[in-house]
A and B are shown apart, each in its own frame.
Chain A
Amino acid sequence: MTAVATDAVMDYDEAMAKFDPVMGLEVHVELHTATKMFCGCPTGFGAEPNSQVCPVCLGLPGALPVVNEKAVESAMRIGLALNCEIAEWCRFARKNYFYPDMPKNFQTSQYDEPIAYGGYLDVELEDGSIYRVEIERAHMEEDTGKSLHIGGATGRIHGADHSLVDYNRAGIPLIEIVTKPMVGAGERAPEVAKAYVSALRDLLRALDVSDVKMEQGSMRCDANVSLRPKVGDPLSSEQLAVPLGTRTETKNVNSLRSVERAVRYEISRHAAILDAGGSVLQETRHWHEDTGITTSGRVKSDAEDYRYFPEPDLVPVAPTREMVEALRATLPEPPGQRRKRLQSDWGYSDLEMRDVMNAGAVELIEETVAAGASAGAAKKWWLGEPSRRANAEGQDIVTYAAALGFTPAHVAELDALVTSGRLNDSMARQVLDGVLAGEGTPTAVADARGLELVKDDGALEAAVDKVIETNPDVAAKIRDGKVQAAGALIGQVMKEMKGQADAGKARELILAKLQ
């Protein structure tokens, strides 16, 4: 394929004045079970190509699949957390298509009998309002292999001479979560889409069923968008009565930011087509992260004919109600509720809580507080140097700290050294550097580096006297009540003490002598 023509787009605000957007999101989540959906092959990311395959996931003749018990449990827990009904009886089905990413020439999925259906997820938007996303279904299936296209443009399918396939990913348990049409979001549709995927990611993380790493593909989103004429308020009965427009499905939108951008782009693109009197082609679109646009994935009339039929090699899944209730009892506190509780316990402002969430440091702070630190100190230390370094390394803080062996207990210990009066803030920062450099625990680092506030009040007092004497003008100002001038003296006292003094105590002494 040659250069892609750029589609016309309408200004977003203009589009929103004329049209009402409706979305449908399909999210695929890879479960982090130890083994694949239908065989005992391991699922680890990044293994040597084709080293995690067996006759079942290679589709060799005569190989028989057996369902992974843990994967079914995870699917049911996801369904329950999404307030779904759990099927009393359901089957797997073969989705038939020829494509080398599935060596069997079909994908084992579920068709009209999903394990979970009819739920909802309440999503909190930035202004604190709640949008309820209705869940159509969540079903079990298996992931496909990964293709590498050789020849032609780099890695693109078009113009490739041949393709190389690695089946390590083929057969990894996948849960597909499908929403009902999301109506009534109006101009906030892109924000709602992003907030939903974000809330779903938090929920799946809390359930501990998936790594939910969008950048590694363990969570992937397809966004369906359609427009209909705007006739009133997004939630008005007149507006809701307008039939849905033709939708497009934008595939593999693989970051939260891209979800928002892709929905926004498709709205603007549809609007331009419809406004010019054209009609939207029902098709698959590809999202381009770099240019921020979608391009046609070509329509093929045959493509949707998957000829599903019940998988004859697997027996039905029929969870007893006791099983369902036992799993329901294992559900974690919903992430939104947990966030509110922690924010209130910790006394953080909304902004502070958002910073902590964005830094991915909620669990670290929770453990640090449990280890005895104050919530304020825990936030200060985690969001400081460790976060900055993790960012610089392109890692999340949890992974970064774990790799260094830097733990919440270390932070709590550091905080204790400050609150007990052994270290001042700048000494504590030096100790932190030492701990991050692998020199040992905070106490060990402080000992090794000889860091300790001078407890000898006589030395401090002598330094204060000396500084007052050499700065008579500043001292005069403080005597006249300009207390803020004390800062200049404190700095000099600290210098006299080579940093080994308690700045608070120095301040007290200065003020006591001059007032």
Chain B
Amino acid sequence: MSSLSREDVAHLAGLARIELSDAELDRMVGELSVILESVAKVQQAPTDGVAPMSHPMPLTNVTRPDVVRPSLGAEAALAGAPEAEMQRFSVPRILDED
């Protein structure tokens, strides 16, 4: 599984909303494959008897009580928005995908 196909890269680019030219696609196939192969070295580590880990801290059940805390307020929330309208975040037309 060390090398990527051109289709894989085109698919990932589509998911990431990145437009790649044919030349860029060709280049990324090579570069991403090198990265994958490097990372794949991890798979050589002896992991028999080691439980998979998704978090570095051995913690469970970290929760907070269901108590309201102050929100930002609409003005502050929208302050960083490139565009706002009707107290809402204005975003470009959503692609024809729904």
Contact = CB atoms under 8 A, between A and B. Distances in A.
A165 B91 contact: yes
Contact of A42 (B64, B71, B74, B93): B71
Given A98-B17, A312-B55, A318 B94 contact: no
B60 A315 contact: yes
B71 A72 contact: no
Given A50-B89, A298-B98, A300-B97, A319 B61 contact: yes
B89 A35 contact: no
A66 interface: yes
Contact of A69 (B11, B17, B64): B64
A324 to B, nearest CB: 13
Given A50-B77, A157-B98, A317 B15 contact: no
Contacts of B85: 150, 164
Contacts of B73: 51
Contact of A99 (B54, B89, B94): B94
B6 interface: no
Contacts of A40: 64, 67-70
What's the dominant secondary structure at chain A's contact region? Answer: loop
B54 A310 contact: yes
B49 interface: no
B84 to A, nearest CB: 8
B91 A66 contact: no
B25 interface: no
B71 A165 contact: no
Contacts of B92: 162-163
A147 interface: yes
B47 interface: no
Interface string A314-335: 1111110000000000000000
A71 interface: yes
A42 B66 CA distance: 10
A163 B85 CA distance: 10
Contact of A41 (B16, B62, B71, B90): B71
Interface residues of A, number: 61
Q: Which of B87, B93, B96 gathers most chain A CB within 10 Å?
A: B93
A315 B62 contact: yes
A99 B93 CA distance: 11
Interface in A98-141: 98-100, 103
A48 B71 contact: no
Contacts of B54: 91, 310-312, 316
Q: Which of B65, B92, B97 gathers most chain A CB within 10 Å?
A: B97
Contact of A316 (B55, B88, B89): B55
Interface residues of B, number: 40
A163 B61 contact: no
Interface stretch (A301-309, A391-399, A411-419, A451-459): A301-309
B50 interface: no
A63 to B, nearest CB: 11
Interface string B12-28: 00111100000000000
B45 interface: no
A160 B94 contact: yes
A32 to B, nearest CB: 10
Contact of B97 (A35, A298, A316): A298
Nearest to B96: A158
B26 to A, nearest CB: 21
Contacts of B98: 157, 297-298
A53 to B, nearest CB: 5
A481 interface: no
A163 B77 contact: no
B44 interface: no
B85 to A, nearest CB: 6
B20 to A, nearest CB: 15
A99 B92 CA distance: 11
B57 interface: yes
A180 B70 CA distance: 41
A148 B90 CA distance: 9
B61 A317 contact: yes
Interface string A46-59: 00111111110010
B29 interface: no
B59 interface: yes
A174 to B, nearest CB: 15
B68 A148 contact: no
B72 interface: yes
Contact of B87 (A50, A68, A297): A50
Interface of B: 11, 14-17, 54-55, 57, 59-74, 77-78, 80, 85-94, 96-98
6 contacts: A41-B68, A48-B87, A89-B60, A96-B15, A315-B60, A316-B54
Given A98-B15, A317-B60, 19 more contacts: A35-B67, A35-B68, A40-B68, A50-B78, A51-B71, A54-B72, A55-B72, A66-B63, A68-B66, A70-B66, A91-B54, A100-B94, A150-B85, A157-B98, A298-B97, A302-B14, A307-B15, A314-B62, A316-B54
**A-B CB proximity, top 10 nearest:** A40-B69, A70-B66, A310-B54, A164-B88, A69-B63, A318-B60, A100-B91, A49-B87, A50-B74, A315-B59
